[in-house]
């Protein structure tokens, strides 16, 4: 019996003494809607990480751009996708957040961009976003539910054109809040004529929607771009050739964009796990770029930059070792 206990104790001590890279690193990663870019991209990162270090055990769960920041602060998840305007607003306790999210920490920025893609059925009699609102048509417009960046941006567009969801409904129109996959169905079944997703280009949801019904993506006018920039958003372009089945795919389409960013909770995300997470991604830049077309220009030099939001200690260590921080 004593010998058996001794053997078990030896195994336990040996496991305890294993190097950190061999110990299980269990994390929850809150991404975006199922069927959206973030959910698939997080899954791609998990596969990349596990191929280099099988001790990573990362569970990807659905989330949304605005809600993710609060989930981080409330310690419901160790890491999450985020967008700079909402990361900074949550850290500083600014709209749309009521309290400062002081446990928010940056892990990696510069992972490509998501673009607002104001997509309309080709048979809708409008040539611009302004015309869609000025004509006061009974619009059937859809995006994902409140709590995500998609609905937040759509609401800002409505505000700029001095209209509201109730105005649209009063004219016999619809405002629909459903998942990306359901938006595709609504568009193809003609229950929605306009989709306003905020997704990486090319977005699988728009590719699928444009297969079943002719679609155009409307460019944003200069005055709308300037209005949205004041909320911390950046100008972007949907490059020509991004969607083979979109009618105006032969030209660049100006729009608004936000950078994909990974954040973590300073208290519950273990420093060593975040260190290994960051170190592996920095060591496999080509692999990162292959996860999604949005990441094709990823440059590690951009990963550490995000206003005044501090780095997670684990990520900071990895960047210092890589020579990206002093």
- Higher pLDDT: 36 or 207? It is 207
String of DSSP letters for 49-65: HHHH-TTEEEEEE---T
pLDDT above 60 (res 6):
no
Closest alpha carbon to 278 in 90, 27, 34: 27
| Each residue's pLDDT tens digit, 74-118 | 999 999 999 988 998 999 998 889 999 999 999 999 898 899 999
Give the domains, in start order, of the chain with CATH numbers: 24-112+260-321 (3.40.190.10), 114-257 (3.40.190.10)
Kindly state the average pLDDT of the residues 19-46: 84
Structure-block tokens of residue 43? 């899954």
> 187: which residues sit within 8 A by CB, 6+ positions away?
121, 142, 193, 195, 209, 212, 213, 215
Q: What is the pLDDT of residue 305?
A: 78
Round to whole Å and give the CA distance between 282 and 206: 31
Confidence of residue 22 (pLDDT cuts 50, 70, 90): low
| Each residue's pLDDT tens digit, 142-156 | 999 998 899 999 999
Beta-strand runs (E) in the chain: 25-30, 56-61, 79-82, 104-108, 113-116, 119-121, 140-143, 174-177, 194-195, 198-199, 215-217, 234-238, 253-259, 261-265
pLDDT above 60 (res 14):
no
pLDDT above 80 (res 41):
yes
pLDDT above 50 (res 181):
yes
């Amino acid at each position: 019996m004593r010998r058996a206990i001794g053997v078990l104790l030896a195994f336990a001590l040996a496991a305890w003494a294993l190097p950190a890279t061999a110990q299980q690193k269990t994390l929850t990663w809150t991404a975006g809607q199922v069927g959206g870019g973030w959910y698939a991209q997080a899954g791609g990162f998990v596969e990349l990480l596990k191929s280099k270090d099988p001790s990573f055990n990362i569970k990807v769960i659905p989330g949304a751009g605005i809600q993710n920041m609060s989930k981080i602060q409330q310690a419901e998840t160790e890491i999450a996708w985020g967008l700079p305007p909402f990361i900074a607003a949550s850290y500083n306790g600014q709209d749309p957040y009521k309290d400062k999210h002081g446990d928010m920490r940056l892990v990696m920025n510069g992972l490509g961009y998501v673009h607002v893609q104001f997509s309309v059925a080709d048979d809708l009699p409008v040539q611009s976003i302004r015309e869609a609102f000025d004509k006061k048509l009974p619009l059937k417009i859809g995006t994902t539910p409140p709590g995500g960046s998609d609905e937040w941006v759509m609401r800002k567009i409505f505000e700029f054109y001095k209209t509201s969801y109730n105005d649209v409904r009063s004219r016999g129109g619809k405002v629909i809040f459903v998942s990306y996959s359901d938006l595709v169905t609504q568009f193809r079944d003609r229950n929605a004529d306009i989709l306003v997703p905020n997704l990486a280009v090319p977005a699988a949801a728009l590719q699928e929607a444009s297969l079943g019904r002719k679609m155009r993506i409307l460019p944003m006018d200069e005055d709308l771009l300037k209005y949205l920039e004041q909320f911390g958003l950046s100008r972007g372009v949907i490059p020509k050739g991004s969607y083979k089945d979109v009618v105006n795919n032969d030209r660049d389409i100006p729009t608004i964009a936000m950078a994909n960013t990974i954040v973590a909770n300073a208290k519950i995300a273990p420093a060593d796990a975040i260190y290994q997470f960051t170190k592996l991604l920095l060591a496999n830049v080509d692999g990162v770029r292959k996860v999604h077309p949005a990441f094709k220009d990823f440059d590690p030099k951009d990963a550490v930059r995000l206003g005044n939001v501090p780095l997670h200690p684990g990520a900071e260590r990895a960047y210092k070792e890589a020579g990206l921080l002093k």
